[in-house]
Amino acid sequence: MPIYEYFCEKCNKKFETLVMGNDKPVCPGCKNSNVKRLMSACGFVSKGSGGETMSTSAGGSSCTGCSSTSCSSCGV
């Protein structure tokens, strides 16, 4: 079951919630159901040739403020 990030358009709060099946998320602050799902940084683990962890998530990179939909577009 995925955890998604949402933005409440009524109280401007960002929040994460577990979404099961056809459940509709509700803002935990104001209980508003008019929320938009946000694009989240995906998590991954990359192993080097010696088995060491090289990177653990896109959110930990130097381009966390990037608004692109693909990391390959910034040339990093």
Average pLDDT, the chain: 75
Residue 60 binned pLDDT confidence (cut-offs 50, 70, 90)? very low
Per the listing, tokens 């990391």 go with 71
Asked if residue 47 has pLDDT above 80, the reply is no
Q: Using CA atoms in the order 64, 74, 40, 29, what is the torsion angle rounded to 10 degrees?
A: 50
Instruction: Name 51's bridge partners.
Output: none
| Residue 37 and residue 9 in contact, taking contact as beta carbons nearer than 8 Å | no
pLDDT at 2: 77
Percent of the chain at pLDDT exceeding 70: 55
Which of residues 6 and 19 earns the better pLDDT score? 6
